[in-house]
Amino acid sequence: MTSMAREVLGWLRSWLYGPRVHRDMGFALGPRHDEGGVFRRTALFAAALAFLMVPFMTDAQAASGGPIKLVALGDSLTAGYRLPADAALPSVLERLLKAKGADVTVANAGVSGDTATGGLDRVDWSVPDGTAGVILELGANDMLRGTDPKVTEGALSAIIERLKARGIPILLAGMQAAPNLGPDYKARFDAIYPALAERYGLTLYPFFLDGIIGDRAQHLDDMLHPNRQGVETIAARMLPTVMRFLDGLRQGATR
């Protein structure tokens, strides 16, 4: 128990059991003479004590080996566009990780159509307290819209800084621009993710769509989104990087 907690508990005890001054009569009353007030103070004391014990119960639960809570923050590629919930990337990753013996949950915080700026707007409420790590997958929609790579990089940088300020490590899933956007745009966009990983010391998975690009059998009919088989391929290829990320979380590291 911290010294602050001991101090607060001492104050609560003195408040409950110490002499009290009757505001009308001006003399001290012990708990026995304070009519029903002692019961109210006892209830308040118990509530305050329970409140004080919450952090210690949480620490004990963490020490007992509870599941590591990950959040996948992304766009439709994370959300599982036109797929059932159990076929979306977070669910598939969780299944593969558990098959490897990892005690982990992966929450789906993917929103179809989201840009990096959109992710920044919602990062604070999409990533709840208690999250051990975030898989950050954003930028594909920026690229499809031809957004200036400086805007995308700035939004991703702001997301990373907010999460780091909360002590939440990040696995950054990279994206690459389509060749038809021109060599200059592609070079500038593709450089975003390695630069951010280097700047902030992040675990990097270089290309989220690795292993499925151009393969019709692993895409929906729009040839933009992975189908069930495509998600399985993405998750399997990401798995070693995610396992390394989890090892870092267990060791209290960020990469």
Which residues are catalytically annotated?
Answer: 76, 222, 225
CA distance 223 to 105: 29
Give the DSSP H or E segment for 197: helix 192-200
Between CA 78 and CA 45 the distance in angstroms is 46
Question: What is the token pair recorded at 53?
Answer: 């014990």
C-alpha distances in angstroms, 75 versus 44, 69, 136, 140, 229? 46, 19, 10, 8, 19
3-state SS assignment for residue 173? strand
User: In whole angstroms, what is the distance from residue 96 CA to residue 196 CA?
Assistant: 27
